[in-house]
Amino acid sequence: MLKNLSASFSKYTLQFKQASGTSRGVLRKKSSYFIFLHQQNDPAIIGVGECGLLRGLSIDDRPDYQEKLQEVCSKINEYEYWLESGLRAFPSIHFGLEMALLDLQNQGSKILFPSDFTKGTQTIPINGLIWMGEMGFMFEQIEKKLKEGFRCIKMKIGAIDFKKEFDLLKSIRQRYDKNQIELRVDANGAFSYCDVIYILEQLAALDIHSIEQPIRQGNWKEMADLCKNTPVPIALDEELIGIFDKDQKEKLLDTVLPQYVIFKPSFIGGIKGTSEWLKLAEERSIGWWNTSALESNVGLNAIAQWTATLDTDMPQGLGTGGLYTNNIDSPLYLKGDRIGFDVEGTWGSISVVG
């Protein structure tokens, strides 16, 4: 058990290499907060964790966020309380604290979950993410991912004309069948219930693997009806945000019965909260995969290392390390459609405010 801890935090602003479009707007920068822990008798060994807040989407995007971070740091030796129940309303801080404690326990090595992945002998399959934008821009992204060897492409839809998005997906499918390229789409809740049936029928003709969050979160009855009758498997994403009680998690899964659920630890309570969701999903034979919430390489490292311990071959949403101009240098690397960990790699400085 770690004792006599000291803690501090620092804000870091990540800058996107290019504006990245979603159905909820265009992203140009993203703020994260790093937590730094050390034991008072050994200040040289520092554990680092990332609190990956995403403005406008994280449940803990609230005015008192930094105030809560300061409270956690000032009462850091009560970390068992914070991890048990004190941060239920602040899942990204919960995840950051988990990371920092694991890192400190492992001598500040950033090896949080030792496995073949951290030994450099295992890699994790990932999907290639296609951001929304003008048709030419989206087509360029797709061509690049296919040339890089991606076998699973995830395209965000719902921001531009659906016919154009459909034509873009159709152009991929005309060249590659479902056994060659797996196509996933992410609507981020962009479609209305009235329109989505037609859209699902259109997508089914293209052998789409799954659609994430076709309608806005919170509409359990409509979502349950869709999942029961859909020609395209449905994955819940934003639907999981803000649900922390086990009973409520069970109620959501039992009511909606989705084909898949998608886990973003920064949104749903870190490793602890995600592990509970995962267990409940598997008990109901619901598929799942993990994805980052656009964290820096610090948070991505934690998610990737944990995912490597879960014995899954499903492509994960972990290819976000190259999004930023000022990401933290790390041993993580991408080769084709897989993410790996270079045992000879080094970490960049994480102490400077971005």
The residues that are catalytic are 156, 264
Which pair of structure tokens corresponds to residue 115?
């496995």
What is the C-alpha end-to-end distance of the chain, expressed in Å? Answer: 33
Distance set, CA 54 to CA 140, 194, 272 (Å): 27, 29, 20
Report the half-sphere exposure of 2 (CA within 13 A, side-chain side).
Answer: 26
Give burial (CB, 10 Å; 0-12/13-18/19+) of 269.
buried
- Are the C-beta atoms of 97 and 82 separated by less than 8 Å? yes
Which pair of structure tokens corresponds to residue 236?
């819940």
**Residue matched to tokens 């879960």:** 310
In terms of DSSP H, where are the helices of 120-211? 135-147, 162-175, 193-204
Residues near 38 by Cβ (< 8 Å), separated by ≥ 6?
5, 6, 44, 45, 46, 47, 104
Which pair of structure tokens corresponds to residue 223?
């979502």
d(CA 244, CA 251): 12
The one-letter amino acid code at 108 reads G
Of 323, 294, 277, 299, give the one whose Cα is nearest residue 58: 294
